[in-house]
Amino acid sequence: KAGVTQTPRYLIKTRGQQVTLSCSPISGHRSVSWYQQTPGQGLQFLFEYFSETQRNKGNFPGRFSGRQFSNSRSEMNVSTLELGDSALYLCASSFEGNGYTFGSGTRLTVV
Q: For binding to other proteins (CB under 8 A), which residues are involved?
A: 4, 6, 31, 33, 35, 41-43, 45, 48, 50, 55-56, 88, 90, 92, 94, 97, 99-105, 107
Q: Is 83 helix (H, G, I), strand (E, B) or coil?
A: helix
Q: Which is nearer to other proteins, 42 or 62 (CB)?
A: 42
Q: Is 95 helix (H, G, I), strand (E, B) or coil?
A: coil
Q: Which is nearer to other proteins, 18 or 38 (CB)?
A: 38
Contact 9, 104 (CB under 8 A): yes
Output Rg (C-alpha) for the chain, integer angstroms. Answer: 13
CB of 6 to other proteins, least distance (A): 8
CB of 32 to other proteins, least distance (A): 11
Which helix (DSSP H) or strand (DSSP E) does residue 91 occupy? strand 87-94
